[in-house]
Amino acid sequence: MSTEQWHSQRLIRVRELLGQQTAVHAMLLSDLNDIRWLSGFTGSSGWLLITATDMWLFTDGRYAEQAHAQINAVGVAAQVIECRTQQNVFEALAQRLSTCSHIWFQSAHLTFDVFQTLNNSVSANWVPAPALLRAIRRSKDAGEIALMGQACDIADRALAGVLPMLLSEPSERNVRDQLDYLMRQLGADGPSYDTIVATGPINAARPHHSPTDTRIEEGHTLIIDVGALVNGYHSDMTRSYVIGEMNGEQIHAYEAVREAQAAGVALARPGVATRDVDAMCRKVLHQAGLEEMFNHGTGHGVGLLIHEDPYLNSSSPAILQAGDVVTIEPGVYRRGFGGLRVEDLIVITEFSNRTLNTSPKEPSCQPSPLTT
């Protein structure tokens, strides 16, 4: 299918959602990711109003011309209305809502204040829709999976590109800068999130550490968490290393994390509760005596957001379904020890799953006999 066909399918599904309602006549999208997903518009300011028959995109002067071009590129029939201020948007909205009395708004996105202003400015029955397009957007179409596959491939290649420099005692920032540069050279729009490079007994013990000038030393644990952004779609992957010989504790922990990750992936298929995948990872780490060191959830969905539905943790009610793209990323952390994490991005298929990234999982970075 073409880009136009994907977008046309998306609009059909959104209008079906609206069509199932007798008491709601329109939806007002304020979440720019939803607006992008549906209309192709990527500006940083916009509102999208959708009825059974019409669609209007409200944006400001900076984006009006771009909005026309992007909407035409994906073949979506929406009118672009240029508005200078939020108040102008609400006035323009009011004009187009004469026949719509009940309207969904994105209550998980609009702030308390903006909703108050909307409610005071546009006379309608505003119906909170906490998760309006979440279920539709959760299931990725082949166009989206292809983009995330490209993003994974770029991150794989960038990671392979920095491995040689790890032996020359670079700083965390040096590695981060090189990864981000390589990803762009390889066609990414940028990193998918703030690239994590964390090494040593303190920094690597922080799952979401920001790179510093700390140097990567022999014998220390090293976590690299890196993804690429391609046309708005994210990838997400983590690999862990020790430069030189691993000690017994590191080998034990790495093998347990790798096994926990593999066991989580092996379980992931349609119909399985995400909390069971989380429990499986914890069980493997528990048997290795390391469960206490795993202090975050097992994974999350990825798409136009780096964190989205479904979440894989002990309190998530989600059941995996075909089209989910999720991370599986157990890790262990302790101040003094440092940390180790292994993470893949997988797509749930009809009967099992497929891993989108391909970076090897060998943790020990030894100086190559050819280069020393």
x/- letters, 123..162, toward a copy of itself (CB under 8 A): -----x-x--------------------------------
Residue 306 tokens read as 């780096």
Measured from the CB atom, the residue of 135 and 142 that comes closer to a copy of itself is 135
Report in angstroms how near the CB of residue 62 gets to a copy of itself at its nearest. 4
Q: Does 184 bind a copy of itself (CB under 8 A)?
A: yes
Residue 212 tokens read as 């510093």
Measured from the CB atom, the residue of 11 and 155 that comes closer to a copy of itself is 155
172, amino acid identity = E
Question: Hey, which residues does 125 pair with through a beta bridge?
Answer: 102
Q: Does 65 bind a copy of itself (CB under 8 A)?
A: yes
Contacts to a copy of itself from residues 319-348, by CB under 8 A: 335
- Whether the CB-CB separation of 192 and 306 falls below 8 Å is answered with yes
Residue 269 tokens read as 């298929």
Phi, psi of 176 (to 5 degrees): -60, -45
Report in angstroms how near the CB of residue 307 gets to a copy of itself at its nearest. 9
Applying CB under 8 A, the span of 149-157, 172-180, 244-252, 347-355 interacting with a copy of itself comes to: 172-180
Contacts to a copy of itself from residues 196-225, by CB under 8 A: 205-210
Residue 354 tokens read as 């497929």
Q: Does 109 bind a copy of itself (CB under 8 A)?
A: yes
Look at the block and give the residue holding tokens 């909307």. Answer: 118
192, amino acid identity = S
Contacts to a copy of itself from residues 251-270, by CB under 8 A: none
Q: Does 44 bind a copy of itself (CB under 8 A)?
A: yes
**175 by DSSP, 3-state: which?**
helix
Measured from the CB atom, the residue of 177 and 259 that comes closer to a copy of itself is 177
- Among 54, 91, 169, 194, the residue binding a copy of itself under the rule CB under 8 A is 194
Measured from the CB atom, the residue of 336 and 369 that comes closer to a copy of itself is 336
The CA distance from 350 to 320, in Å, is 11
- Choose among 37, 161, 25: nearest CA to 99: 25
Measured from the CB atom, the residue of 209 and 353 that comes closer to a copy of itself is 209
- Whether the CB-CB separation of 167 and 367 falls below 8 Å is answered with yes
The CA distance from 34 to 31, in Å, is 5
Q: Who contacts 111 (Cβ-Cβ below 8 Å, separation ≥6)?
A: none
Which residues are at the interface with a copy of itself (CB under 8 A)?
42-44, 60-66, 84-85, 105, 107-116, 128, 130, 173, 176-177, 180-181, 184-185, 189-190, 194, 205-210, 295-296, 315, 335
